[in-house]
Amino acid sequence: MAVHWVNYDLNKSGQDYTKLIEYLKSHNGWAKPLKSSFFVATSLTAGQLRDGIKQHIDSNDDVVVVGVGGKGWATYGLSDELNKWLKDNL
């Protein structure tokens, strides 16, 4: 199981994030550290996850999916619950 960090900018004004967020939450595990990013635990590759995301966004939106291995991370201002998720999953 891999963890990917998904960052997105939905560029159309009034964009509805509902379908994208439901898709990201449909995987094995997830955490939402910042407004436009998720950590997603999944068996998919970064490319496969990106392709799935593309089905839930507009063609002018931007997405970055990065596989993370858990070495060398640090946070500030995030909840204990989120830091625990990161510790347990990265």
- The distance from CA 60 to its chain's CA centroid, rounded to whole angstroms, is 19
pLDDT at position 12: 72
**What CATH number is attached to the domain comprising 27?**
3.30.70.240
By C-alpha distance, which of 56, 53, 21 is closest to 36? 21
Determine the structural domain holding residue 51 and report its residue range: 2-89
Query: What is the token pair recorded at 58?
Result: 């507009």
- pLDDT value of residue 60: 86
76-88 tens-digit pLDDT: 999 999 999 999 9
| 15-51 per-position pLDDT tens digit | 778 899 999 999 999 999 998 999 999 999 999 999 9
Quick one: which H or E segment has residue 9? Answer: strand 2-9
DSSP character for 70?
S
Task: List pLDDT tens digits, range 43-61.
Answer: 999 999 999 999 999 888 8
Q: How many domains does the chain have?
A: 1
As a whole number, the mean pLDDT across the chain is 92
Mean pLDDT, rounded, for 57-76: 90
Higher-scoring residue by pLDDT: 67, 10: 67
